[in-house]
Amino acid sequence: MHTAEIRQRWLDFFAERGHTVVPSASLVSDDPTLMFTVAGMVPFIPYMSGLIPAPYPRATSVQKCIRTLDIEEVGKTTRHGTFFQMAGNFSFGDYFKEQAIAYAWELLTTSEADGGYGFDERDLWVTVYEDDDEAIEMWKRIAGLPDRRIQRLGKADNYWHTGQAGPGGPCSEIYFDRGPEFGAEGGPAVDDSRYLEIWNLVFMQYLLDDVKSKTDFTVVRELPKKNIDTGLGVERVAFLKQGVANMYETDQVRPVLDLAAQLSGRRYGANHDDDVRMRVVADHVRSALMLMADGVTPSNEGGGYVLRRLLRRSVRSMRLLGVDAPTFTELFPASRDAMKAAYPEVETNYDRIARLAYAEEENFLGTLASGTSILDLAVAKTKQAGTRQLPGDTAFLLHDTFGFPIDLTLEMAEEAGLTVDRSAFDSLMLEQRTKAKADAKAKKTALADLSVYSDFRAKGETVFTGYEYLQTETKVLGIIVDGKSVTRATTGQTAEVILAETSLYAESGGQEADAGTIIGKGFELEVLDVQKPVKGLISHRVVVRSGEVGVEDAATTVVDPEWRRGATQAHSATHLIHAALRQVLGPDAHQSGSYNKAGYMRLDFNWNQALSPETRSEIEEIANSAIRRNLEVETRVMTLDEAKDLGAMALFGEKYGETVRVVDIGGPWSRELCAGTHVASSSEIGLINLVSESSVGSTNRRIESLVGIDAFRDLTTERAIVSQLTTNLKTPREQLPDRIAELLASLKAAEKRIAEFESAALAQRIPQLVEAARTANGVTIVREEVGSLRSADDLRSLVTSVRGRLGSAPAVVALAAEVNGKPSVIVAVNEAARERGVKAGPLAKTAAGVLGGGGGGKDDIAQGGGTDILALSAALDAVVAGLRL
């Protein structure tokens, strides 16, 4: 049974039993405390917690999931996979424990011919929470299970909660007995390798509080509406139904594994280490493919960093298999073809995915080449020092700064006859991870407790009227101060205000929130920010400028018209630039992010090279031409499928509901899904001035533009500068570039002549300095101030030249100068002096201490500097005193 069929049978089974089929949410989680969707129930948490009323009484989904906490274990065991699919059926106050058990048993044991999974009843075991006698009775009655195949386990295994105060409850897990060749008899309580968990049924029936750990919490009371949350591991069912040993050998993963074996010339199953590497490649390529299909792009932070790590671990594993050449051009198409039956978007979006993956592989192969050079130097230095162990901090530097994997460092060090101080490396890695976890925890703690919004959201969605009106009469539904719901807020307080309706736009889709006020009888509130803390609810962060506002008060939202005008100009300009980009560069130049506010817009797009000045000008001209053509801007609300059929562009990384808003500028010329505010016609934008184009990653570029009056003001500033240049240089505007180039060439030539003169002048000073030498205890010493010099290089050249003239007897040269307004001392010591124990580094450091700064260097030559120019003579005296001759 193919994995795609397992997925479809699940959805069909529950759809036939009254469940709403909910499409998989994005791998990028909406939950602010999660980077990725890590479990099938994550998209349903707001409904289970009561934060948002459930739009249906029962639902089913097959959710795409990503977990990266155990990424180092991927391939080593059959349990760990980065990407996986979790099938779930959910009830929100509808059916409960008995029906959930009945559904599970029916689907698992119904024959394949009748639409089920066809498991033999004799191979199935269940575990229940130790005190859940009710579940045990149901398993016996519904499934006819004997006592021996029902096992009681404690909270650590059979109790579920979110880790925070809220809903939770006991769970019951279904296991498949793989047979005696996989372990000891006696059920999952004895051996959970032989007995494989395939389905978990959570009976969410209690309100929990004081949650300290998985097992330490307080049950407050039963929930008024009990929920069901179940999850079946699709990959686990797949490898059982396909008769293979693990998830890596299933139909959606095995093709990449086999191709990795073919490309490397190694056989899967012949060597444990090679098997692990092939499984890593198969898992990571599929996981990266699915992440990029959901809009994630490689970067150095957040989800982009995780994606980059997956891609690089794949490259690294292929290299450890002996393949140095690029392989993604073969591996990714294989994964695409294996996944497209279940997820057609991997084929639809493949051109974009391929461009990102191939570019990342090319860049990392270059990084590996650079890292290899650095590692070679470190190996040579280690051997020169007479040790056989590469320092841990060197391995960490290679890993952290250059992206050089530790196991590659271990392998290459071993080839050179060295070991690596792994304990020191692990200690530095632990320190880094601890800091990262602390940062993440701080960020998580900083987020508001979303439960405060549940009562307000239960009253319905906030109605946004701002598309048609700048003012709206409304009512205050709630006030939040310091994270707690209150009844009033007074002058000077900062608060969040929840309204029934609002004309103020909440920050979303790259558009900054509206500026404005909220007024009512006896109060005025200045709006600081407008956000959507939970789906469907708009919250206004305000400061009470005067009076007192209370719940149930009548109020009027007032948008700052100038701000809104500027915001609509900037957002519509973003659409024009995006359309112009695609017209000039082609459909691969796809928007990957944006930000716009009054007078300014920036747009990030997928591209891996800088735009030429000519290309930038062409994009700018096309966008401004669209403004001059006064194109009509039309907005329509329709279903997502209708919008896609119409050709509307959905942006990667954005999440859309079943109903969407389509914004047309000039009909199909620019047609995008967008909830932002826009001008009525393109001419209202006024002007777009493209001010910069830069890199924001190996596969991403950024365009920044000023819009409207801000664009005009910037151009008038440039015009004033050009006018001043034409006047000062007495040159017509069109000849300015040539005239400035001439002046720069003349300046460069003059600087060269000056440098030659100064070099000759320095050379003339060498004999005088040599003559100033004196001898103490057999060491020749030159100690002189040489005035002002243009650079430290001039001073260094002078010092080494004087040292070279002093012969082979022990000699020390210490010269001081003012370099670019700062004091500097350079000390040079010849070989004979070094043999007597005189070293330049400590002497330069001594001088720097007198100058109020720092210094040091090698034994033969070193430099010191500081801030006190008047102390140059004293610094030289300190050098001489430091000789102790």
Binding-site residues from annotation for Zn(2+): 571, 575, 674, 678
Maximum distance among all alpha carbons in the chain? 110
Burial code (b: 16+ CB inside 10 Å, e: under 16) for 178-189 equals: beeeeeeeebbe
Residues 575 and 669: beta-carbon distance below 8 Å: no
Residues 866 and 823: beta-carbon distance below 8 Å: yes
Using DSSP, state whether 403 is helix, strand or coil. Answer: coil
Residue whose C-alpha is closest to residue 177's, from 188, 161, 163: 188
Q: Which single residue is written with the structure tokens 């001594």?
A: 846
- CA gap 233, 52 in Å, rounded: 27
Residues 366 and 345: beta-carbon distance below 8 Å: no
φ, ψ at 328 (rounded to 5°): -65, -30
- CA gap 653, 131 in Å, rounded: 44
What residues are designated binding site? 571, 575, 674, 678
Q: Which amino acid is at 777?
A: N
> Could you please report the per-residue DSSP string of 235-256?
HHHHHHHTT-SSGGGSTTTHHH
| 523-534 and 488-490 strand pairing | unpaired
Residue whose C-alpha is closest to residue 174's, from 148, 139, 205, 146: 139
Token output for 147: 């006592």
* CA distances to 54, 57, 391, 406, 549 from 20, in Å: 11, 8, 58, 47, 42
**Bridge-partner residues for 58, per DSSP?**
91
User: CA 874, 876, 881: angle at the middle one, nearest 5?
Assistant: 90
Residue whose C-alpha is closest to residue 309's, from 364, 372, 374, 370: 364
Alpha-carbon dihedral angle through residues 66, 69, 72, 74, given to the nearest 10 degrees: -40
Residues 66 and 27: beta-carbon distance below 8 Å: yes
Q: Which long-range contacts (CB under 8 A, 24 or more apart) does 862-867 make?
A: 862/826, 862/827, 863/792, 863/796, 863/824, 863/825, 863/826, 863/827, 864/824, 864/825, 864/826, 864/827, 865/822, 865/823, 865/824, 865/825, 866/822, 866/823, 867/822, 867/823
Phi-psi label, residue 389: left if phi above 0, alpha if psi -120 to 50, beta otherwise: beta
Number of Cβ atoms within 10 Å of the Cβ of 765:
16
| 471-481 and 494-499 strand pairing | antiparallel
